[in-house]
Amino acid sequence: MDSLVGFVGKNYVIMAGDTNAGRSIMRLKDDFDKLVPIDSHKILAKSGEIGDGNQFCNLIIRNVSLYRIRNETELTTKSVAHYTRRQLATAIRKNPYSVNLLLGGYDKKDQKGSLYYLDYLGSSKKINYGAQGYAALFVGSILDRFWKEDLDFEDGLELMKKCLREVEKRLIIGTRCFLIKMINSDGISVVEKVMINSEKKNEIEEEN
């Protein structure tokens, strides 16, 4: 039921997640932030069970902080992805965490953004664009068609909104409200909290 979308652009990574948190048919919270910052330049977007997501993301965040405190150095996105995957993989045959993740980060050393797709089974892949949840069905083809290397930020934001518009239009579960975040050399910034209403002839209301 969660929708997460992300892709890499020119020196940035842009990610979006819906803001619903619910239980069976009921929406309990409509301003739930699923894009959790690991440190100043990495976001872990979680989807799946709320409890597992919270606990697992806390585990990763605290351990990355611990590493930084012990070694006075930040981890790269690749290292965090590998560590996260290992935690998921060792847990799968004992006490599985049912969370699917998108890890996006910007590395100052390479001056490049990177995006990783992580699964509850312990699979991990570096991707240029991808999505989790039901959104993946609709958004995959749009990104295949329109994503290019080194998209500018404005083009990237437009592409992201195109994806979210499609999710709102086709997914029968009402997810109108999305939170878009961007990571670049300056760190994580909330781009906007978007409320999409496709009935209004593809107009998008923006609320900050």
- Binding of another protein by 185 (CB under 8 A): no
- Binding of another protein by 69 (CB under 8 A): no
- Binding of another protein by 153 (CB under 8 A): no
Cβ atoms of residues 115 and 102 within 8 Å: yes
15: number of CA atoms within 13 Å, CB side?
36
Q: What is the Cα–Cα distance from 188 to 14, expressed in whole angstroms?
A: 10
- Binding of another protein by 50 (CB under 8 A): yes
Q: What is the Cα–Cα distance from 193 to 178, expressed in whole angstroms?
A: 6
> Which residue has tokens 């998008």?
204
Which is closer to another protein, CB of 62 or CB of 148? 62
Which strand ranges, in their side-by-side order, compose the sheet holding 124-127?
Answer: 35-39, 42-48, 99-107, 112-118, 124-127
- Binding of another protein by 119 (CB under 8 A): no
- Binding of another protein by 125 (CB under 8 A): no
CB of 50 to another protein, least distance (A): 4
Interaction site with another protein (CB under 8 A): 21, 23-24, 26, 28-29, 32, 49-52, 54-55, 59, 62-63, 66-67, 70-71, 83, 93-96
